[in-house]
Amino acid sequence: MKTCLLAASTALGLTLMSTPTKAADSALTIYSGDYESVAQSETRPGGPGFALFESNIGFDLKSGGNDVSLGGLPRGMDSSSVVLRPGGGAKIRGQRFDFAIAGHDELLRRALGQTITVEHAIGNDRQTYTGQLMSAGNGLTLKLSDGRIKVLSSYASFELARLPDGIVNEPTLRWSISSPDTKRENFALAYATSGVAWRAEYLVNARGFSKDCKMDLEGAAMVINRSGADFNNVMLTLVAGQPNRAPSAESEMMVSAALVMRKNMMMQDGAPGVEASGEYQAYKLPNAGSLPQGSVQRLPLINPANNITCERRYETNHSLGDWMPPYPIIDANYGAGDDQELPVFATLRFKNSKAAGLGVPLPAGRVRLFDGKDFLGEANISHTAANQDMALQIGNVFDLKSTRSREDFQIDRDARSMTERISIKLINSKAQTATVRVSEHLPRWSSWEIVSSSLPFEKRNAQTVSFDVPVVTNGETILTYTVRYRWAAGVKIPK
C-alpha cells in the first residue's frame, strides 16, 4: 500500500458508475458518528471519526536483518493500533513510527552535532560557514574546522548533507524484519485512524394528511475523508454503530500535503446488502473504489421504498420534563401562565415495518422532508431497527396557534387532594379543518385522575394524557379539563 497525501481541497463525489474496478487488496471499515465534527475540525490521532484499515503489502527481503519503511499514512492514524503480520517465515523484530515532519526548527534541533553549511548575509554580500552545529535557538552556534566557534545571530539559509535521524517529509512507519531467506514476502497490515466518517442522508416525500398519509423514502450514505491520506482501490464497509474508544495521548502531527491525481471514486449501482457486524449493522459495497483526502462522496444505502403507510399530525404539548417530585406540589403558581403561547408543530410518524412498506434497519442520519416540491423541514434520526416506531418533528406550523391558561386551582388539605383546571385555546387560520393533538404532562403528583374534560382523552403514560382537538377553518376550539391529585395519609406536604 502507498497512500499519498492530498492538498486540503474538497471534492464532492456524486456521479455513480457501474463499471467494476480491479480486484482490491485493501479494505476500509468506517463507523458511523462524528460526521459533522470531522467536517469542521482538523484531523488528529484520537480525534472524531473512526475507521479500520486493512491491506496486503509486500517487501523484498534479504536473508538476515532488514529495515523497511512505509509512508503515505493518515495524520489521524493511531500508531499504537498498527499491526504487521508476516505471511511467511519472516519475524518482526521492532516497529517505529516517525511523525516529526521536516520543519525548519525541528530540522535544526535534530541536526545538533552534525555538519551544517550556513549562508550569512552581510549587506549585499553572502558569507558561507561550514562547521559542526553546537546549538540552535536564538541564532546558530558552529564549531569550525580550525576549532574556532562562530556565533551567527541571523542567517539567510542553511544546508544539511542528509535528513537527521527520525525526521521525515511525511509520517512513516519503519520495521526491523528478520528473514530466513532472500525473497519477497507478503504482510498483512492493519491500523485504526480518525478523520473518516459517514452518516445516512434520507429523502422523504409525503403526501396526504392524518392517517391518509403515504410517503416515499430513499437513503444514501455521505462519506467524508479528512484523515490526511488517500485510500485508493479499497473495498468499503459502512458500519452503523459507534464502539467505545479510549482517549488517545498521541501527539498531534503536522503533515505536509502534496497534490496527486484523483483515483476512481467509490461506485455501485444499488444499495448494498446489510449484515450483522458484532453489535452493529454493516453495509458492504460490492465494488472497490477510492476515497481521496478532502472528499465527500454520496453512495446508495437504502433501496427506494414507495407508498409507505404514515401519519401526518399537528401537535402541541406542555411539558415540565419527566422529573417526579418527592411530595405533592401544592404551590398554586407552579407551571402557571395565562395565555401562555405553545408552538404547534407538524410531525410525520410511521412504523418501520414490512407491513407498512419498509422494514429495514435505518442508520442514524438526517432526514429531509418534502410534500411534492414543497420543503417541509429536516429532522435527525438515531439508529432505528426494523419494526420500531418513528416520529419526526418537521417544524412549527404557521397558521395554527395554541395558548394555555390555568383557570382555577384548589387545595383541600383535610381531604388530601388538590384540583387544577386548565384551558387550551386553539386557533386555525388554515383553509381546511385541522386536528391538533394536545399532550399534557401532569406533574404535581403521581396519583391523579381527570374528573372532567370537554373532549375525550387518552392516557399515554404514568404522567401524560393527550386530546385530539378538531378546529374548523378560520375558527377556534377551547379545550378544558380538570385534574384531581390525591395523596395518602402518610405523605408529608409543605406547610
Decide if pLDDT at 482 tops 60.
yes
The whole-number average pLDDT for the span 88-96 is 93
Beta bridge partners of residue 406, listed in sequence order: 422
The whole-number average pLDDT for the span 409-424 is 95
The predicted structure's pLDDT at residue 152 = 86
The predicted structure's pLDDT at residue 3 = 32
Residue 414 lies in a domain: yes
CB–CB of 296/224 below 8 Å? yes
Q: What is the CATH number of the domain that holds 152?
A: 2.30.30.520
Looking at per-residue pLDDT, the higher value among 489 and 138 belongs to 489
Enclosing domain of residue 421 = 307-360+389-486
The predicted structure's pLDDT at residue 260 = 30
The predicted structure's pLDDT at residue 270 = 57
Residue type, 169: N
The whole-number average pLDDT for the span 100-109 is 68
- Residues written for the chain: 495
- The pLDDT > 90 percentage for the chain reads 55
Task: Say which range, 39-43, 46-50, 330-334, has the weakest mean pLDDT.
Answer: 39-43
CA dihedral 470, 472, 477, 479 (to 10 degrees): 0
Nearest to 421 by CA among 356, 478, 493: 478
Distances (CA, A) of 183 to 60, 69, 203: 6, 17, 54
The phi-psi region of residue 183 (left if phi > 0; otherwise alpha if psi is between -120 and 50; otherwise beta) is beta
Beta bridge partners of residue 264, listed in sequence order: none
Beta bridge partners of residue 464, listed in sequence order: 441, 461
- The pLDDT > 70 percentage for the chain reads 85
Looking at per-residue pLDDT, the higher value among 262 and 31 belongs to 31
pLDDT bracket for residue 85 (50, 70, 90): very high
Q: What is the CATH number of the domain that holds 471?
A: 2.60.40.1170
Task: Say which range, 33-42, 178-187, 468-477, has the weakest mean pLDDT.
Answer: 33-42
C-alpha 60 chain-centroid distance: 40
CB–CB of 177/186 below 8 Å? no
Q: Which three cell numbers stand for residue 428?
A: 386555525
pTM over 0.75: no
The predicted structure's pLDDT at residue 254 = 33
The phi-psi region of residue 294 (left if phi > 0; otherwise alpha if psi is between -120 and 50; otherwise beta) is left
Q: How far apart are CA 43 and CA 34, in angstroms?
A: 12
The predicted structure's pLDDT at residue 220 = 92
| Number of structural domains in the chain | 2
The predicted structure's pLDDT at residue 251 = 38
Q: How far apart are CA 112 and CA 164, in angstroms?
A: 9
pLDDT bracket for residue 167 (50, 70, 90): low
The predicted structure's pLDDT at residue 158 = 84
CB–CB of 219/55 below 8 Å? no
Q: Which three cell numbers stand for residue 77?
A: 492514524
Distances (CA, A) of 19 to 231, 265, 267, 284: 19, 11, 8, 17
The predicted structure's pLDDT at residue 334 = 87
Residue 265 lies in a domain: no
Residue 172 lies in a domain: no
Looking at per-residue pLDDT, the higher value among 325 and 350 belongs to 350
Looking at per-residue pLDDT, the higher value among 256 and 81 belongs to 81
Residue 350 lies in a domain: yes
The predicted structure's pLDDT at residue 248 = 52
The whole-number average pLDDT for the span 45-73 is 92
Instruction: Name the domain boundary from 140, 162, 184.
Output: 162
Q: What does the pLDDT look like over 215-224, one tens digit per residue?
A: 999 999 999 9
Q: How far apart are CA 455 and CA 103, in angstroms?
A: 75
CB–CB of 315/30 below 8 Å? no
Decide if pLDDT at 483 tops 90.
yes
The dihedrals phi and psi of 221, each to the nearest 5 degrees, come to -110, 130
CB–CB of 471/428 below 8 Å? yes
Sheet containing 340-342: order of strands: 340-342, 400-412, 417-428, 475-486, 448-453
Q: Reduced to 3 states, what is the DSSP secondary structure of residue 368? A: strand
State the average pLDDT for the chain: 84
pLDDT bracket for residue 286 (50, 70, 90): confident
Q: What DSSP line would sit under 273-338, residue for residue?
A: PEEEETTEEEEE-SS-EEE-TTEEEEEEEEEEEEEEEEEEEEEEEE---S---SS----TTTT--T
CB–CB of 401/344 below 8 Å? yes
The predicted structure's pLDDT at residue 250 = 45
Residue 444 lies in a domain: yes
Residue 56 lies in a domain: no
Decide if pLDDT at 22 tops 50.
no
Decide if pLDDT at 238 tops 60.
yes
Which helix (H) or strand (E) covers residue 74, if one does? none
The whole-number average pLDDT for the span 397-417 is 94
Q: Which residues of 405-440 are buried (b: 16+ CB within 10 A; e: fewer)?
A: bbeebebeeeebbbebbbbbbbbbeeeeebebbbeb
Instruction: Name the domain boundary from 114, 132, 162.
Output: 162
The predicted structure's pLDDT at residue 186 = 95
Task: Work out the widest C-alpha separation in the chain, in whole angstroms.
Answer: 107
Decide if pLDDT at 194 tops 80.
yes
Residue 249 lies in a domain: no
The predicted structure's pLDDT at residue 72 = 85
CB–CB of 204/106 below 8 Å? no
The predicted structure's pLDDT at residue 249 = 46
Instruction: Name the domain boundary from 162, 185, 201.
Output: 162
Decide if pLDDT at 21 tops 50.
no
The predicted structure's pLDDT at residue 24 = 65
Decide if pLDDT at 136 tops 90.
no
Residue 60 lies in a domain: no
CB–CB of 460/454 below 8 Å? no
